[in-house]
Amino acid sequence: MSSNPEPSYLSASSSGPSEYDGSGDEPSTMLLSLRGISKNFGPVQAIQGVNLDVPAGKVTALIGDNGAGKSVLIKTISGIWEPSAGHIYWKGDEIHVHTPRDATDLGIATVYQDLALCDNLDIVQNMYLGREETKFAMLDEIKMELSTNQLLKDLSVSTVKSVRQLVASLSGGQRQAVAVARAVMRDSQLVIMDEPTAALGVSQTHQVLQLIRTLSSRGIAVLVISHNLNDVFGVADRIAVMHLGTLCSSGPISNYDSQSAVELITTGHSSRVPSTLVASP
Ligand SMILES: Nc1ncnc2c1ncn2[C@@H]1O[C@H](COP(=O)(O)OP(=O)(O)OP(=O)(O)O)[C@@H](O)[C@H]1O
Ligand SMILES: [Mg+2]
């Protein structure tokens, strides 16, 4: 990969969607919009009637208590589960995401908490696992190594000493960075992360939050699940709160503070938040 021009997976959209007013009425202006999404597992209603808008180039934090339905919701976006009811819109057009491959092809990359990296392989091998570059029927190691170096540089990941290091020797934050880099390698326009900082220390958390800001500054939408409100208020542009399987409030972060966020997480209501941001099921 050449260092110039800017790689396509990081290019900002010039005609990004307009700012959302919280009413949830305009799916066409959003990168991703969910309307009335429900998911049952037999008699268990995991999520119900979720309306959520995710704009390009913004960080949306998805918060809520254990079992609120956050992971199930992102799995319906990333093709793990098909919703039992509801509609998903991508750039205003309705889509049907049947498999993870469908999501990847659209430009939706998901980084799960268990990361699925191979400890016994180095960073380059992990980045290209299953999609290796070849030249004259041989692995093109030089191309893959240069591309990996360039990608980590583009993402401002500076703490990795060598891309030939085994993943087993990386810190939690560095592993998270490799997983994100792997996810955005293919023209991703939306990166979904399920609790990316849950197992990390202070400085590693800082690195991952920086990486999230780098993605959004390049025009990529980020949807991140977090239980850490400090992280949420440090990195997010928007908040979406789930409570008992429903999305109880969502909108620009300026409308929330940690007290209202805690109230919404624990009770599903807060008098401190404008009623326009309360999503109706
Ligand atoms: N495969 C499944 N089969 C049956 N029920 C499920 C399944 N996956 C999730 N659920 C149920 O759906 C509900 C929401 O679970 P989910 O994993 O989305 O919670 P969460 O908000 O991600 O919680 P946490 O913060 O603990 O990760 C829970 O009641 C859970 O038991
Ligand atoms: Mg979860």
Does residue 132 sit within a domain? no
Distance in angstroms (rounded) separating the CA atoms of residues 30 and 46: 25
If one compares 7 and 150, the residue with the highest pLDDT of the two is 150
The predicted pLDDT at position 270 comes to 93
Enter the DSSP assignment of 18. Answer: P
Does residue 160 sit within a domain? no
Non-local CB neighbours of 218 within 8 Å, separated by 6+ positions? 10, 11, 12, 57
Does residue 158 sit within a domain? no
The predicted pLDDT at position 12 comes to 35
- Average pLDDT over the chain reads 85
Distance in angstroms (rounded) separating the CA atoms of residues 155 and 242: 30
pLDDT band at 13, cuts 50/70/90? very low
Share of the chain above pLDDT 90, in %: 56
The long-range contacts involving 203-209, CB below 8 angstroms and separated by at least 24 positions, are 203/173, 204/171, 204/172, 204/173, 204/174, 204/176, 205/173, 205/231, 207/157, 207/159, 207/173, 207/174, 207/176, 207/177, 208/173, 208/176, 208/177, 208/180, 209/234, 209/235
How many A from CA of 247 to the centre of ligand 2?
A: 15
Q: Is 255 helix (H, G, I), strand (E, B) or coil?
A: helix
Closest CA to 64 of 249, 281, 274, 254: 249
Does residue 24 sit within a domain? no
- Give the structural domain span for 86: 29-121+173-277
How many A from CA of 79 to the centre of ligand 1?
A: 16
Longest dimension (CA), the chain: 65
**Ion ligand 2: protein residues whose beta carbon lies under 5 Å:** 71
Q: Where are the alpha helices (DSSP H) in the chain?
A: 70-77, 100-106, 123-127, 141-154, 172-184, 202-217, 229-235, 258-267
Does residue 47 sit within a domain? yes
Check pLDDT > 90 for residue 122.
yes
Give the residue-averaged pLDDT of 54-66.
96
What is the pTM (predicted TM-score) of this model? Answer: 0.84
The predicted pLDDT at position 27 comes to 52
Enter the DSSP assignment of 205. Answer: H
Of the residues 37, 38, 40, 41, which should be mutated to test ligand 1's pocket, given the most ligand atoms within 8 Å of the CB? 41
Q: By the 8 A CB rule, do 233 and 59 touch? A: no
pLDDT tens digits for 211-258?
Answer: 899 889 989 999 999 999 999 999 999 999 999 999 999 999 999 999
Q: Where are the alpha helices (DSSP H) in 33-137?
A: 70-77, 100-106, 123-127
pLDDT band at 277, cuts 50/70/90? confident
Instruction: Kindly report which listed range (66-75, 149-158, 226-235, 239-248) carries the lowest average pLDDT score.
Output: 149-158
Q: By the 8 A CB rule, do 261 and 63 touch? A: yes
pLDDT tens digits for 176-205?
Answer: 888 888 877 777 899 999 988 887 778 778
Check pLDDT > 70 for residue 279.
no
Q: Is 250 helix (H, G, I), strand (E, B) or coil?
A: strand
Take atom 31 of ligand 1 and give the residue whose Cα is closest.
Answer: 67
Q: What is the CATH number of the domain that holds 51?
A: 3.40.50.300
Of the residues 39, 44, 112, 114, which should be mutated to test ligand 1's pocket, given the most ligand atoms within 8 Å of the CB? 44
Question: End-to-end CA distance of the chain, in Å?
Answer: 46
How many A from CA of 67 to the centre of ligand 1?
A: 5
Does residue 245 sit within a domain? yes
pLDDT tens digits for 100-116?
Answer: 889 989 999 988 766 67
Check pLDDT > 60 for residue 79.
yes
Q: Does residue 7 have a cis bond before it (omega within 30 degrees)?
A: no
How many A from CA of 227 to the centre of ligand 1?
A: 15
10 Å CB burial of residue 255 (0-12, 13-18, 19+) is middle
Domain count along the chain: 1
Distance in angstroms (rounded) separating the CA atoms of residues 182 and 140: 17
The predicted pLDDT at position 151 comes to 84
The predicted pLDDT at position 73 comes to 97
Pocket of ligand 1 from Cβ distances under 6 Å: 41, 44, 46, 64, 66-72
Pairing label, strands 221-225, 59-64: parallel
Does residue 177 sit within a domain? yes
The predicted pLDDT at position 211 comes to 87
Does residue 195 sit within a domain? yes
If one compares 123 and 1, the residue with the highest pLDDT of the two is 123
Check pLDDT > 60 for residue 16.
no
